[in-house]
Amino acid sequence: MKKGLIIGGILGVSVAIIILAISLDSELKSDSIEVEDTLDKEVIAETETPEIEEKIDDVEKINLENEYSPKPREWITSGPFQIDRSKYAIGEKIFLVIGGITGNEKGQIVFMRPLNDTHYSVYMTIPFDGMKKDVFNYYVEPQISKTREICSIDDLMGKWAVVFRGTDYPNLYFEITDEVVPGTNIEPVC
C-alpha cells in the first residue's frame, strides 16, 4: 500500500509539472508573438506618415550637404618649404614640410591670417635654423580661439599667407573655405 501511494504521488506530481510546463510555454509563446506583432505595427505605422518621411528626407539631405572628404594633396613649394594643399576646410590640419635647409639658413615661418583684402595678422610663428635641424615637419590647425581674437569661422575663412622671414623665398598662399570638417567645434567664442 505504501508503494502504491508513493507511485501515485510521484505520478501526480509529474503530471502537474508537465501541465505547468506546457501552460507556461504556451503563455510565453503567445506573449512574444503579441509583442512582435505590436512592434511591427508601430514601425509600419510610423514610416507611413508623411511628416516622418519628410523629416527623414531632411536629415538625409543635411548629411549629404555635410559630407566631407579631404582634397588630394598638391604640394605647393617655395624653396625647401612645402604645404600640402591650396585649399583647406575649417578643422583641417595644414601639413608643412621643411626639407633641405642649408646650414646658413635661419629665420621664421610665419602663418598670416587675413583681416581683410589687404591686411594680415600673425597667427603663428615657427622658428627654423639649418645648423640645428635641416629637415622637419609641422602641423598647423587654425581654429577659433578667444586668446588669438579669432571669434568665429568668419575670422578663419579667406586667403592666408605663409611668409619665410630671414630668407628670399617667395610667400606661399592658401585658402580656408567655408567647408567644415565634421566634429569641428565652430561655436563663436567672443
Hey, is 106 helix, strand or coil?
A: strand
Beta strands 87-90 and 172-180, pairing class: parallel
Nearest to 172 by CA among 67, 57, 85: 85
Nine-digit cell at 104? 646658413
Give CATH for domain 76-180. Answer: 2.60.40.1930
Q: What 3-state DSSP class applies to 32?
A: helix
pLDDT of residue 151: 93
The whole-chain average pLDDT of the chain stands at 81
Q: Are 123 and 142 in contact (CB under 8 A)?
A: yes
Q: Which residue has the higher pLDDT, 33 or 135?
A: 135
> What would the pLDDT profile of 106-124 be if each residue is shown by its tens digit?
999 999 999 998 999 999 9
Q: 158: phi > 0 → left, psi -120 to 50 → alpha, else beta; which?
A: left
Q: In terms of pLDDT, which residue wins out, 56 or 48?
A: 56
Arithmetic mean of pLDDT, 86-104: 93
Q: What pLDDT sits at residue 126?
A: 96
Predicted local distance difference test score (pLDDT) of residue 32? 47
Cα-Cα-Cα-Cα dihedral of 38, 43, 46, 49, to 10°?
Answer: -110
Residues 163-184, mean pLDDT to the nearest whole number: 94
Identity of residue 152: S
State residue 29's pLDDT score.
52
Instruction: Please tell me the predicted confidence (pLDDT) of residue 60.
Output: 62
pLDDT value at residue 38: 45
Q: What is the pLDDT of residue 176?
A: 96
